[in-house]
Structure 1
Amino acid sequence: MKYFVATILSKGKKEQVGILAEDRKKANDLAKLKHSGIIIKIVEEAEPLESQFKRFKTNFFGNMRKRKIRPDALIASIRQLAVMTNAGISIYDSLCEIAKSTTDQNLKLVFGKLSEDINSGHSLSKSMENFRFELGNLTIAMVQLGEKTGNLDDSLYSLADMLEEIRANVVKFKKAMAYPRNVMVAMAVAFTVLISYVVPNFKNMFEKLNAELPLPTKILLKLEHLFNNYGLYVLVLLFISFSIFKYLINNSKNIRYGWHEVLLKTYLIKNIIMFATLSRFTLVFSELIRAGIPIAEALDTAISMIDNLPLKAKLSSVRVAVEKGSSLHEGLKDTKLFENMIIQMVSAGEDSGTLDTMVSKVAQYYKMRFDAIIDGLSEAIEPIMLLILASMVILLALGIFLPMWDMGNAVQGRK
């Protein structure tokens, strides 16, 4: 992000405003969106240290405070907005009514701000850009589609359906993770109790032996010492480390890219991210193609709502290839993300003029693959759980009983 200073003439007075943007054009758009008045000039400058510190503080604490709108509330509000728009009610009045009637405070705040921007003459999609975190990329992409096609109500209905499908997948994922999560929490609590209260009782006995203790026992005693003497400090350190890591992920594209690459190489997680992303990408892309949006624009909009940066970079190459004159199936093939069967289906759709239908079938295929992964999630996690549980049991058993066996052998030897 670059730092620009915009000189704005407002109410007969000149004022200078600092703006962070990727380039001068986007800085100009942000200045128009956030400030009323005539923009005289926009100049790129070095960001002042005071501004950098203020931005760091705002982002650091803002990232911990800000929350997304509850999915159920967002889906209900999108459906309500679709119904009111279809009935001929203005966007401004619809947003005001939804903001007034909702019980979700985040939704009330966001829709209230959106109505103010609409009343100032901005488009709905442009206004939503300020709330990308709260609303999500998919919401903004579908609103942009509705504005391009002139069928905002249809796009909002489709958006609500897609959000419900995504919500159902999230609920399914949480249900699949409930059992492993509960088992892991129970194991962690049991291990903490044993380390904190049971091991200290053996510690005194082991110290009286004045003998060389086995490695498992040394590990247990070290953990006991760490838990009982520095437990609070460890928790504080973990919290601070997590907060800093979260800040870096949210504010550094390079670090976020590297983290996403790690996730794509992690057991089980990589498949969940891969098929969830491809399912959502093909779902949105098929909706855009069916609405008559050109392929390059449809790709641009569908890619914009992808969160994983390495996958986003690969799929962005498809748009570049299409703009250069390559066919869609060739661009998809070059990414090496899609199976040969998918490439053949897209090629057949291009040749027969039924690309929207074929891409829709591809979206159904990836949804099926994603559902299959979620359904088998518990079974896939069980080996990891068993390994962790076995390691804990072995450590506790060997750490406590090996010295006791040595004591028994020593007593028998004396006899």
Structure 2
Amino acid sequence: MTEKKISISNNDRLGLISNLSTMLSAGIPILETIDSLLEDSKGNTRKVLEALKDDLSQGKHVYHAFSRFPKVFDTVTVNIIKASEEAGTLDVTLKDVKENIKKEAEFSDRVKSALVYPIIVMVVFIALLFVMLIVVIPRISSVFTKLNMELPLPTKILIFVSDALISHTALFFTIIAVFIIGLILLYRSKKDLLITILSSLPLISHLIQDIDLTRFTRSLSLLLNAGIPITSALELTQTVVVKKNVAKAIEHAKDVVSSGKKLSQGFKDAKKIFPVIMIKITEAGERSGSLDKAVLEISEYLEYQVSNTLKALTTLLEPVMLVVVGVFVGGMMLAIIAPIYGLISQIGSRGGP
């Protein structure tokens, strides 16, 4: 595996940066720090540390080693490290990077946890559907056949699907496996396309935009705090967003700042992307000379908003999914019960006076 394809988990990345920050803050030389960390490291984390040691031994900088692993350290992190090395504040900046990785991991976990319930419901529903079609329906179908009953169309369709599934079980599961693998490969190779499709959905589009703005403002705050010029910081933050219209709005804001105007003006020009509260807080930060802190406050506010939106979506999805599952299962049960009820009615009418 080439260095550009190497990746590590958020926890491993957090542990690596945290250990580097702690040991450097304690006054331990960086090469000695790396040697100590190599003793307990393994896997891709070890490869990152070995590359870092090699580069430092050749007189290169930490940021150069980090830049060799784009899936571990994004361009924002690399440039923050570069600026801190030039300013001689690497140990302090690593603490900021550590906090950023921690917040990003927590944020990602909240997004993922919001998807857990719908996924569980879907898995249970699909499992129940298979049990009904493979186990329950064939047994009831054999009873209907023995009784030579005239079945309604929904029941015939249900039995046909059940028979087809039983006759071609291996083929069916192969198709499902190919479909899942195809989705995974599509996500890895055409991630931008999938995000574009998701972004076209009304509720999802707004949520993705808020997530983009959260990551943008958090990264911008870090870059400004590291002493990186605002135009360079705005250019770098375009890489952390996924929606093209958000990236274009950031690009426009950079052009506005480059022309000598304030960042808040760039935000005002794209009010459909940047909310009013974001513009107002930015203006306040510009007036007080603490733009980095103002942008950090914006990121915290947006993160809170995203969390609330995720909770609302989850709360909305729960009853909707239960209704959908109920309709499917209820429809299947009705297709099974209807012929039985008809048979009972016939027997009752024959036995009557």
Using the size of structure 2 for normalisation, the TM-score is 0.83
Tell me the SS of whatever aligns to 1:293: coil
Q: 1:169 to 1:247 in 2, by over 3 A?
A: same
What's 1:113 paired with?
Answer: 51
- Any idea what the Cα deviations from partners look like across 1:116-139, whole Å, max 9, x if unmatched? 344344433333233222345554
Q: 1:361 aligns with which of 272, 281, 297?
A: 297
Q: 2:283 aligns with which of 329, 332, 347?
A: 347
Q: Is the 8 A contact 1:124 1:143 kept in 2?
A: yes
What's 1:407 paired with?
Answer: 343
Q: 1:79 aligns with which of 18, 30, 40?
A: 18
Using the size of structure 1 for normalisation, the TM-score is 0.72
Q: 1:298 aligns with which of 212, 233, 236?
A: 233
The RMSD of aligned alpha carbons is 3.2
Gap regions ≥5 residues in structure 2: none
Between 124-133 and 268-277, report the one with greater CA deviation.
Answer: 268-277
Q: 2:328 aligns with which of 392, 407, 411?
A: 392
Q: 2:123 aligns with which of 185, 206, 219?
A: 185
The letter of the residue matching 1:70 is: S
Q: 1:223 to 1:319 in 2, by over 3 A?
A: farther
Structure 1 residue 161: deviation in Å?
A: 1.0
Aligned mates of 1:320, 1:234 — CA distance in 2: 54
Aligned mates of 1:272, 1:159 — CA distance in 2: 25
Judging by fraction of residues, say which structure has more helix: 2
Aligned mates of 2:87, 2:177 — CA distance in 1: 47
Q: Tell whether 2:255 aligns with 1:327.
A: no
Q: How does 1:209-358 map to 2 (within 5 A)?
A: 209=148, 211=150, 213-215=152-154, 217-251=155-189, 255-266=190-201, 269-335=204-270, 336-358=272-294
What's 2:108 paired with?
Answer: 170
Aligned mates of 1:307, 1:250 — CA distance in 2: 14
What's 1:134 paired with?
Answer: 72
Aligned mates of 1:137, 1:406 — CA distance in 2: 69
- Any idea what the Cα deviations from partners look like across 1:328-385, whole Å, max 9, x if unmatched? 2232233421212222222333344332232222122112212323444531321332
Q: Is the 8 A contact 2:192 2:242 kept in 1?
A: no
The letter of the residue matching 2:284 is: A
Q: 2:90 aligns with which of 152, 165, 171?
A: 152
Between 297-306 and 343-352, report the one with greater CA deviation.
Answer: 343-352
Q: 2:142 aligns with which of 191, 201, 204?
A: 204
Misfit runs of 4+, over 6 Å: none
Structure 1 residue 78: deviation in Å?
A: 0.5
Q: Is the 8 A contact 2:62 2:81 kept in 1?
A: yes
The letter of the residue matching 1:339 is: P
The one of the two structures with greater contact order (alpha-carbon pairs below 8 A, sep at least 6) is 2
Q: Percent sequence identity over matched residues?
A: 24
Structure 1 residue 112: deviation in Å?
A: 2.1
Q: 1:123 aligns with which of 38, 46, 61?
A: 61
Count residues in correspondence: 349
Aligned mates of 1:152, 1:141 — CA distance in 2: 12
Q: 1:381 to 1:127 in 2, by over 3 A?
A: same
Q: 1:100 to 1:237 in 2, by over 3 A?
A: farther
Q: Is the 8 A contact 1:141 1:302 kept in 2?
A: no
Tell me the SS of whatever aligns to 1:133: coil
Q: 1:213 to 1:315 in 2, by over 3 A?
A: farther
